[in-house]
Amino acid sequence: MTPIIDVTLRRAKFNSSPLSDMMGHYAGEVVETCVRAYILVNIRAGMVLPVIEQLSRIEEVREVYSITGNYDALIHAQVNDVKDVHQRMIDRIHRIDGVTDTATYIVLQ
**Count of alpha carbons within 13 Å of 71, Cβ hemisphere only?**
17
SS3 54: helix
Query: Radius of gyration of the chain from Cα atoms?
Result: 17
Q: What whole-number distance in Å separates Cα of residue 39 and Cα of residue 33?
A: 18
pLDDT tens by residue, 17-55 = 544 444 444 445 554 558 899 999 999 999 999 999 999
pLDDT tens by residue, 68-107 = 999 999 999 998 888 878 877 888 999 999 999 999 999 9
Strand partners, 40: 74, 103
Decide which of 109 and 29 is more confident: 109
The whole-number pLDDT of residue 33 equals 53
Among left, alpha and beta (phi > 0; psi -120 to 50; other), residue 46 is left
pLDDT of 6 strictly over 50: no
The whole-number pLDDT of residue 75 equals 96
Going along the chain from its start, the domains and CATH numbers come out as: 33-106 (3.30.70.920)
How far CA 23 is from CA of 2, 58, 74, in Å, comes to: 28, 23, 22
